Amino acid sequence: VSKCQKYIQLIIFHPLNVKKEKLFFCLFRSSDLIQRALMDNDFMKHLEHGQILTIMDCMRPTSLTKGCCVIQEGDDGSTVYVLEEGMVEVTKEGKKLCSIGPGKVFGELAILYNCTRTATVTALTDIKLWAIDRQDFQTIMMRTGLIKYSQYTDFLRSVPSFQSLAEDVLSKLADALEETRYSDGDYIIRQGATGDTFFIISDGQVRRTRRQAAVKTLSKGDWFGEQALKGEDVRTASVTAVGDVTCLVIDRESFKQLIGGLDDGSDKQHDSDEVKAKRQAEADFFSSVS
Ligand code: CMP
Per-block mean pLDDT, blocks of 10 residues, the chain (290 long): 61 58 62 90 78 87 96 96 96 96 94 90 97 90 75 86 81 85 94 88 93 86 76 83 94 72 34 53 49
Q: What's the 41 CA to ligand 1 centre distance in angstroms?
A: 11
Q: How many helices (H) and strands (E) does the chain have?
A: 9, 14
The pLDDT score that the predictor gives to residue 54 is: 87
According to DSSP, the β-strands at 127-133 and 223-224 are unpaired
Residue bearing the CA closest to ligand 1, atom 22:
90
**ipTM score above 0.90:** yes
The pLDDT score that the predictor gives to residue 43 is: 78
CB 110 less than 6 A from any atom of ligand 1: yes
Cβ-contact 156, 198 below 8 angstroms: no
What pairs with residue 235 in β-bridges? none
CB 81 less than 6 A from any atom of ligand 1: no
Interatomic CA distance for residues 93 and 76, integer angstroms: 16
Quick one: which of 181, 166, 113 has its CA closest to 141? 113
Interatomic CA distance for residues 212 and 182, integer angstroms: 26
The pLDDT score that the predictor gives to residue 195 is: 84
What pairs with residue 83 in β-bridges? 104, 129
- Angle between helix 3-12 and helix 49-58 axes, rounded to 10 deg: 50
Model-level pTM greater than 0.90? no
Residue bearing the CA closest to ligand 1, atom 12:
106
Interatomic CA distance for residues 131 and 143, integer angstroms: 20
Quick one: which of 262, 266, 202, 213 has its CA closest to 236? 213
Interatomic CA distance for residues 68 and 65, integer angstroms: 6
Torsions phi, psi for 257 (to 5 deg): -65, -35
